[in-house]
Each structure stands twice: as structure tokens, then as C-alpha cells.
Structure 1
Amino acid sequence: MPRAVREQQMMDAAVRTFGQRGYRAASMDEIAELAGVSKPLVYLYLNSKEDLFTACIRRESESLMAAVQAGVEPGLPADRQLWDGLQAFFTHTARNPDGWAVLHQQARAQGEPFVGEVAVLREEIVAFVTGLIGAAAREAHSDPALPDRDVAGLAQALVGAAEALAGWANVTPGVSAREAATTLMNFSWAGLENLMHGRGWQPRGD
């Protein structure tokens, strides 16, 4: 069997084991058995447990980002692009719950260097969403009304909400990717649209 195929089998087994058992509880013996190979072969191909976990984070990050980007068609209205991106995000996390558990739960719980690996993915997604919100502002105004700082803050809030909602959807029976995306659009887009048109909320008396 070609090395690349064998490595993917081991990575698949590792993601499943790390996602379901956690980084510390998972053993290389389990991963090797699930992949149908010997433990020395896992070490030969993927070095240490830390290196294997890092490789899993990078693979799952690239897969998620590619899915979101592929789900969005440039040139469509900003709300449709955001909707399509959210559907792609929730569809991917629902189809790959172990991969999402590795990214959203396990990596963040282990500290560095794993937190830094996940932070790279988050920055890419935030930048992507920032671009969509900025595009919406340009649609609403020939001279965008939202300052860059506000756009960046909204993108951070939206990505944080999507991360939390994906975790909840994956453990709540009957919640589809479409339902999760609709929930977040209803939560966020009305407020975003008001901001685009200068109807931002302010505390009473201020």
C-alpha cells in the first residue's frame, strides 16, 4: 500500500481516537489497532504522539477551511454568502464530529503548541467572515459606515457563536446543519443589517 494511503488510514484512526477518547487518554496502541497496523509503523510514519496530534489538527483545520471556502460563491449578495458559508461550516462539523472535537475541545484543552495550531485556523475563518461583513457594509453604503474595528469585532463574535453552536448541534439529536445555520443567521443577520443602515443599539440614557 502506498505510504500516503497508509498515513491517511493512521490519521483517520488517530482523529477518531483523539476525538472520542481525548488526547491524554488515547494511546498509540489503540490508534495502531484501529488503523490495522503495528505501533512501530505509526511511530515510523508519524513520529511521536504529539506530532501525530499536531498532524491531525492541521489536517482537520485545512479540511474545514476548504469546505467553508468551497461552499461560498463569490459575487452573490453578502447575506447569501454568509448563509452558504454557515451551512458549509455546520455540514462539515456534523459530518466530521471527531475532527471537530479534536479542534474545538481536545486541542484547546492541551495548551501549547496545540492551541497555537487551532488559532491559525480561527484567524483564517475570522478573516473570511470579516471580508463578508465588510462586503455587506459596502453593499449597504457606497462609503461603508462600519469602522474596521467594528467589522473585526462582529466577525469575532460570529465565529465564536458558530463554534459554540456547532458543539451544541453535534450532541443534540435532531439538529441539522441547516437548522444550526438558520439559528445563527436569525441571531446575527438582523443585527448586522441594522448596523449597516445606521440603526445600531445603544444603552438607554447614554
Structure 2
Amino acid sequence: MPREVRERQMLDAAVEVFARRGYNAASMDEIAELAGASKPLVYLYLNSKEDLFSACIRREAEALLAAVRGATVPDAPADRRLWCGLLAFFAHTAEHPAGWAVLSCQARTHGEPFALVVAGLRQQIVDLVTRLIAETARSAAPAVPLAPHEAAGLAHAVVGAAESLAGWANSGADTGPSEKATAETLMNVVWVGLDNLMNGRRWTCTARP
């Protein structure tokens, strides 16, 4: 069997075990058994449990980012690209729940260098969403221009909400929403807020402290 095929099988098995057991409780014996390989071969190919976990995080992060980027067709209107990006995000996390569990839960609880990979992924998605929001605002010729910090703030809010919604949608409930319904929920919140900002309908605090 070609090495790349065998390594993919090992990584697939590792993602499942890490998602189910967590990093500390996951055993190389279980990973090797699920992959249909010997434990010495897993060590030979992927060196250590830490290196294997890092490889899983990098692979899942790259796959998620590629799915989101691939869905945002350059020639489409900015709002359509934002919608397609959100839909791709929820579709990918629904199709790869173990990978999402590793990224959203396991990697963030074990410090560097694992958390740094996830932070880098998140920042790249935030940058993409920031650009789409800014382009949408410019193309709409708003009555009140959208400030850069507002576009960045909205992007962080969108990504944070998307992460939370993905966890909720993938919670295992049989009656959970579809990827499209989840994306529509978030898109409506974003779109109403962005439309209000662009048309000068801004909320301000009028109550005394």
C-alpha cells in the first residue's frame, strides 16, 4: 500500500479517536487498531502521539479553510460569496464532525503548539470575512461608510457565531437544523446588522451609566 494512503488511514483513525477520547485518553494502540496497522508502523510514519495530533490538526484546519475559500467564487457579488462561505463552513463541519471536534475542542485545550494552529486558521477565516463585508459595504454605496474596525468587528462576531452554531448543529440531536438553515440563520443576523450600519441606523446607548 502506498505510504500516502497508509498515512491517510492513520490520520483518519487518529481524528476519530482524538475526537472521541480526547488527547490525553487517546491511545496509540487504539489508533493503530482502527487504522488496521501496527503500532510500530504508526510511530515509524508519524513519530509520536504529539506529532500525530499536530498532523491531524493541520490536516483538518487546511481542509476546512480550503472548503470555505473554494466556495467564495471571486466573480460573484460579495454578499453571495459571504453566503457561500458560511454554507461551506457549516456543510464541512457537518460532514466532518470528528475533525471539527478536534479543532474546536481538543486542540484548544492543550496549549501550544496545537492552539496556535487553530488560532491561525481562525484568523485566516476572519480576514476573509472581513474582506467580504468591506467589499459588500463598498459595492452598496452606503449612506454612511463602514469603518475598517466595524468590518473587522463584524467579521470576528460572524466567525465566533459560526463556531458556536456549528457546535450546536453538530450536537447529535436528530432534529438539528440543516446546514442551509444554520447558514441562513447567521446570514440574516449579519445582513440585517450590516444593512442598518450602511444606512445610518446605528444603535447607541442612551441610558445613563
TM-score interval, normalised by the smaller of the two chains: over 0.9
Alignment of 1:150-169 (within 5 A): 150-169=150-169
Shift of 1:67: 0.6
Q: Which moved more, 1:31-40 or 1:109-118?
A: 109-118
Which whole-Å CA distance do the structure 1 matches of 2:143 and 2:103 have between them? 38
**What residue is the counterpart of 2:174 in the other structure?**
173
Contact conserved, 1:137 with 1:144, CA < 8 A, in 2?
no
CA distance in 1, matches of 2:18, 2:150: 37
Name 1:70's counterpart in structure 2: 70
What is the CA distance between 1:154 and its match in structure 2?
A: 0.9
Q: Identify the residue that residue 194 of structure 1 maps to in structure 2.
A: 196
Q: Which runs of 4+ in 1 moved over 3 A?
A: none
Shift of 1:76: 2.1
Give me the identity figure in percent.
Answer: 62
Cα deviation code 1:111-141 (max 9, x no counterpart): 1111111011001100110110011111122
- 3-state SS, counterpart of residue 53 of structure 1: helix
Worse-superposed segment, 181-190 or 43-52: 181-190
Q: 1-side partners of 2:103 and 2:145: how far apart?
A: 35
CA distance in 2, matches of 1:127, 1:181: 19
Q: CA deviation at 1:148?
A: 1.1
Contact (CA 8 Å) 2:142, 2:198: kept in 1 or not? no
Instruction: Output the CA distance in 2 between the equivalents of 1:173 and 1:91.
Output: 16
- 5+ residue gaps in structure 2? none
**Which of 170-179 and 31-40 deviates more?**
170-179
Q: What is the aligned partner in structure 1 of residue 26 from structure 2?
A: 26
TM-superposed CA distance for 1:142, in Å, is 7.3
Shift of 1:19: 1.0
Which runs of 5 or more structure 1 residues have no equivalent in the other structure? Answer: none
Aligned length: 206
Q: What root-mean-square deviation, in Å, do the aligned CA atoms of Structure 1 and Structure 2 show? A: 1.5
Residues 1:57 and 2:57 aligned together: yes
Q: Quick one: distance in 2 between partners of 1:113 and 1:90?
A: 26
How far off is 1:204 after superposition? 2.3
